[in-house]
Chain A
Amino acid sequence: MREFRIFAAIFALIGATIGSAQMAPPQLFSGMEGYTFLPDGTAIPIWGYGWTADGFITLPGPLLEYTQDEFVQLNFTNPSPESHTIHLHGLDVDQANDGVPSTSFLVTTGGQTTYEFTANHPGTFLYHCHVTTTLHLTMGMYGMILVSRPDMTLFDGGPSYTENAPILFSDFAVETNMNPVQSFPFHDIRPDVFMVNGASGAQLEQSEHIIDFEPGQPIALRLGSMAYSLLQLNFPPELNAVCYMSDGRPVTEPFAVENLDIFPGERFTVLIEPDAGWDGYIGCEFWNIPDQQMDGEEYIRVRDASLSVYDWGVSDPLVGYPNPTSSTIEWDGPAALNVFNSGGRLVYNGPLRRGKLDIVDWPNGLYTAIFPDGKRSRFSVIH
């Protein structure tokens, strides 16, 4: 009995420790000794934010996600050699939590603070350092904040969506980042690297930067800019893109969008519901504002998830054809399979006759086939 009490006490202590660890708000920290890498492998110095638990800063900073009406306590420590703050851009917080040195307060070297606010409005917001902002932003001290609703609608009475795709545009001038101390005068800063979620060029073809969609399931593009450039986005008509929100508020009339300009600090929420089987790009042009010259162009790939079998990380996937299909789909080799729909429900368990599966009566959707040897294949049914 005594042993049981000792074990119970130990478990209680462990449980309390785990519980308190889970309850503690996550903690951001700032750093000035990070690096990002250009597509050619060049290392560029950055300043930025990271989770204390991870121990490294990222470009952009971590995505902060909250639920509407949540009371937020954002802990922040600054071990870096200069003072920093966090400005909660667009959340309309009170003066004390605004992150502006002259009207709020600085977090000096070795200091820590907790920013507090209630996330009253759902939408897309930003955060960034407001100390010598012209320099600290180009060095990378920014990130995105999403405030969502539990019912997966954009706002009260707004449309539903199935997934968020946070997309933060930014840029920097290599010369400035390589030597920030010599960056004066600030009005001379002219970016020459243009990024989507911190990636550019060939990096945007990596799977983590591709937006995979499932037909019939709207994705909320959470678009925000911390760039010095003016963003001009070009949405192909197959995306069926509709803009519903700007700056964390519904627009008066949602509108179909083919071209969208995003100025520094602005945000938009655009729902896309692409045509089944589509695989293409959102063009992102970066325009120098004083000169009105296009300085760079990047592309966001949007792809039907059924076409992304090679990006699963599953070794040696099988490819069925045709895909998408409206009648049959055929694989070389296997004699049986299980098929699950996008909701994870088993919809077929049985043999393959001559490698073919008849899906003529199946509803439209995305399906995953798993074969006896563990290989997998994803396909779309479109009638």
Chain B
Amino acid sequence: MHEKWRYKTFGFNAFINCSGGFDHLTKFEQMHSFKLLIFIASAAFSIALQGQDSLWISRGEWTDIPDSVQSIRFNSNPQWSGINSTLSRVPGESSTLFLINTDSISHTWGLQVEGEEEWELAAFDSLLIPIPAMAQGTYRFGLLDESGRVLGASGQLQVGLEGEYPLFHWNLGDWSMERMASADAGYPVDWDSPYVPEQFTINERTFPATVDDSDAFVALSLGDTCLISIANHGFMDHVFHFHGFHVTMMTSTHHPQRIGWSKDTVPIRMGEALTVRLIAYQVGLYPVHNHNLIAVTNAGFYPGGMITQIHVTP
């Protein structure tokens, strides 16, 4: 664990009792809310001084799936969103990331690249995280502690993918409501019981909401080339089948020997991040979906889960 990058952005207990706008809250909740507000203001000030991008670790109600549940996310601002943010970097250049934990418990950050270390982040604290120089590709970052993982704080880091071609991204997740409820309540997750996820998501949405997501729905004109960054943040392997097209494997954290392969059915191992290139050589509307067919359901209903579409117009 590293502490040297820690920025002290909180420690404002003296101001807690200064407001009268929280009469409906208990004393504890008032204290908690004030600490959070002041912490957020302080963090925002620090970010402005630093001139760098930042991620906010937030806990809130995720309503983008049929069963709304408490979740943890990486958001790009203090406002809660059930959708994890995506980071972008230039290849070969090191950088930093300002990380703000608005949650009431500590978490462990990890950039899931071989050799990278974990960073402990206390409740209502912040850190400046070093991001090493990386090659072009798609990578994963996330919280490595149990509640952070199970409640879905994971995102993708795209290195050198923006600019030349339209870029889409799919963050894949599988969700057991029982495990999430357990993690949210602070209980240890029973990892030995059979894993039976009920929800399967692309960018934290289930089909048909996935086709309303401009990052997941691949809209192209005939002849276009695009890149799709895919990261598996779930607890099982996934495999995506492209209707109408073969894609070319461009980068992969787990299958480097497959770079250059042309595939219509692409496995994405648990923890894997990869990039594929798609050339829109025929018009039409084509599904792309998980071919592990339990994952194209919402709470057991078909169709749902990990389905999106490719739409190529003349």
Which A residues lie at the B interface, using CB under 8 A? Answer: 87, 89-90, 92-96, 98, 100, 102-103, 132-135, 137-138, 184-189, 228, 230, 246-249, 251-253, 255, 261, 263-267, 289-292
- Supposing A92-B245, A98-B243 touch, asked if A133 and B296 sit within 8 A by C-beta, the answer is yes
The verdict on B60 contacting chain A, using a C-beta distance below 8 Å, is: no
Q: Which residues B260-300 have CB closer than 8 A to chain A?
A: 260-265, 267, 282-287, 291-297, 299-300
The verdict on B198 contacting chain A, using a C-beta distance below 8 Å, is: yes
Interface size on B, residues (CB 8 A): 44
Residue on B nearest A292 in the bound complex, by CB: B236
- Supposing A103-B286, A263-B291, A266-B265 touch, asked if A184 and B239 sit within 8 A by C-beta, the answer is no
- Supposing A249-B246, A255-B257 touch, asked if A263 and B264 sit within 8 A by C-beta, the answer is no
A–B complex contacts, Cβ < 8 Å, 26 sampled: A89-B241, A93-B244, A95-B284, A95-B285, A103-B287, A134-B294, A185-B299, A186-B297, A187-B196, A188-B196, A228-B292, A247-B261, A249-B246, A249-B261, A249-B262, A255-B257, A263-B239, A263-B265, A263-B291, A265-B241, A266-B265, A267-B265, A289-B237, A290-B174, A290-B294, A291-B194
Report the minimal beta-carbon distance from A214 to chain B, rounded to whole angstroms.
31
The answer to whether A247 touches B285, judged by C-beta atoms less than 8 angstroms apart, is no
The answer, among A95, A98, A264, for a CB contact under 8 Å with B292, is A264
Report the minimal beta-carbon distance from A206 to chain B, rounded to whole angstroms.
29
Report the minimal beta-carbon distance from B221 to chain A, rounded to whole angstroms.
16
Q: Which residues of A contact B291 (CB under 8 A)?
A: 263-265
The verdict on B22 contacting chain A, using a C-beta distance below 8 Å, is: no
The verdict on B142 contacting chain A, using a C-beta distance below 8 Å, is: no
- Supposing A103-B287, A132-B302 touch, asked if A290 and B297 sit within 8 A by C-beta, the answer is no
Report the minimal beta-carbon distance from A228 to chain B, rounded to whole angstroms.
7
The answer to whether B263 touches A246, judged by C-beta atoms less than 8 angstroms apart, is yes
Q: Which residues B227-255 have CB closer than 8 A to chain A?
A: 235-237, 239, 241, 243-246
The verdict on B197 contacting chain A, using a C-beta distance below 8 Å, is: yes
Shortest beta-carbon contacts, A-B, top 5: A185-B300, A95-B284, A265-B291, A263-B239, A252-B260
Q: Which residues of A contact B45 (CB under 8 A)?
A: none
Q: Give the CA-CA distance A94 to B244 in the complex, in Å.
A: 6
The verdict on B5 contacting chain A, using a C-beta distance below 8 Å, is: no
Report the minimal beta-carbon distance from B52 to chain A, rounded to whole angstroms.
39
The answer, among B197, B243, B267, B284, for a CB contact under 8 Å with A263, is B267
The answer, among B261, B285, B301, for a CB contact under 8 Å with A246, is B261
The verdict on B195 contacting chain A, using a C-beta distance below 8 Å, is: yes
Which B residues lie at the A interface, using CB under 8 A? Answer: 174, 194-198, 235-237, 239, 241, 243-246, 257-265, 267, 282-287, 291-297, 299-303, 309
The answer to whether B194 touches A265, judged by C-beta atoms less than 8 angstroms apart, is no
The answer to whether B195 touches A290, judged by C-beta atoms less than 8 angstroms apart, is yes
The answer, among A94, A265, A289, A292, for a CB contact under 8 Å with B265, is A265
Q: Give the CA-CA distance A98 to B312 in the complex, in Å.
A: 15
Q: Which residues of B contact A137 (CB under 8 A)?
A: 293
Report the minimal beta-carbon distance from A272 to chain B, rounded to whole angstroms.
21
Residue on A nearest B235 in the bound complex, by CB: A290
Q: Give the CA-CA distance A43 to B236 in the complex, in Å.
A: 33
The answer to whether B263 touches A249, judged by C-beta atoms less than 8 angstroms apart, is yes
Residue on B nearest A131 in the bound complex, by CB: B302
The answer to whether A185 touches B198, judged by C-beta atoms less than 8 angstroms apart, is yes
The answer to whether B262 touches A265, judged by C-beta atoms less than 8 angstroms apart, is no
The answer to whether B302 touches A135, judged by C-beta atoms less than 8 angstroms apart, is yes
The answer to whether B293 touches A133, judged by C-beta atoms less than 8 angstroms apart, is yes
Give the interface centre of B259, B300, B301 by most chain A CB atoms within 10 Å.
B300
The answer, among B257, B258, B264, for a CB contact under 8 Å with A92, is B264
Q: Give the CA-CA distance A247 to B265 in the complex, in Å.
A: 7
Give the interface centre of B236, B246, B264, B282 by most chain A CB atoms within 10 Å.
B264
Residue on B nearest A265 in the bound complex, by CB: B291
The answer to whether A247 touches B264, judged by C-beta atoms less than 8 angstroms apart, is yes
- Supposing A255-B257, A263-B239 touch, asked if A291 and B195 sit within 8 A by C-beta, the answer is yes
The answer to whether A95 touches B286, judged by C-beta atoms less than 8 angstroms apart, is yes
Q: Give the CA-CA distance A114 to B197 in the complex, in Å.
A: 39
The answer, among A186, A253, A289, for a CB contact under 8 Å with B300, is A186
- Supposing A185-B198, A185-B301 touch, asked if A230 and B294 sit within 8 A by C-beta, the answer is no
Report the minimal beta-carbon distance from B101 to chain A, rounded to whole angstroms.
30
Q: Which residues of B contact A247 (CB under 8 A)?
A: 246, 261-265
The answer to whether B294 touches A189, judged by C-beta atoms less than 8 angstroms apart, is yes
Q: Which residues of B contact A261 (CB under 8 A)?
A: 267
Beyond known contacts A90-B264, A188-B196, A290-B196: 18 more, CB 8 A cutoff: A90-B265, A92-B244, A103-B287, A103-B309, A133-B303, A134-B296, A185-B301, A186-B301, A247-B264, A249-B246, A249-B261, A252-B261, A263-B239, A290-B174, A290-B235, A290-B236, A290-B294, A291-B195
The answer to whether B267 touches A186, judged by C-beta atoms less than 8 angstroms apart, is no
Residue on A nearest B297 in the bound complex, by CB: A186
Report the minimal beta-carbon distance from B199 to chain A, rounded to whole angstroms.
9
Report the minimal beta-carbon distance from B40 to chain A, rounded to whole angstroms.
38
Q: Give the CA-CA distance A148 to B249 in the complex, in Å.
A: 25
Report the minimal beta-carbon distance from A165 to chain B, rounded to whole angstroms.
21
